[in-house]
Homo-oligomer: A and B are copies of this chain.
Amino acid sequence: MPQGDASKGEIKTPSCRFCHGDNGIAPQPSYPNLAGQQQQYLYDAMLAYTNDMRLGPMATMMKGQLQNLSPQDLADIAAYYSKMK
């Protein structure tokens, strides 16, 4: 995993917020909270969506959301959410 920069991550999360909340707490129970989640797990999970290791309608949606993000972007986003209280 690249070294993540939480401050850069913050500006890369506009499309995350609709489902995962401005504060990383999901407004709907079928979406996961991200606030305070483990950084490596968040990175691995996002990578799994992009690599077709998670399947189904929600996974397809996540793959679409992540398709233009680089590994560095994913690491920055993981850093941002992992540090959120």
Residues of A within 8 A of B (CB): 26, 28-33, 36-41, 44-45, 48, 52-56, 58-59
Contacts and interface: CB of A to CB of B under 8 A. Distances in A.
A63 to B, nearest CB: 13
Nearest to A32: B41
B54 A30 contact: no
18 contacts: A29-B39, A29-B40, A30-B40, A30-B41, A30-B44, A31-B38, A31-B41, A32-B37, A33-B36, A33-B37, A33-B38, A44-B58, A48-B54, A48-B56, A52-B55, A53-B54, A53-B56, A54-B54
Nearest to A36: B33
A29 B33 contact: no
A39 B26 CA distance: 11
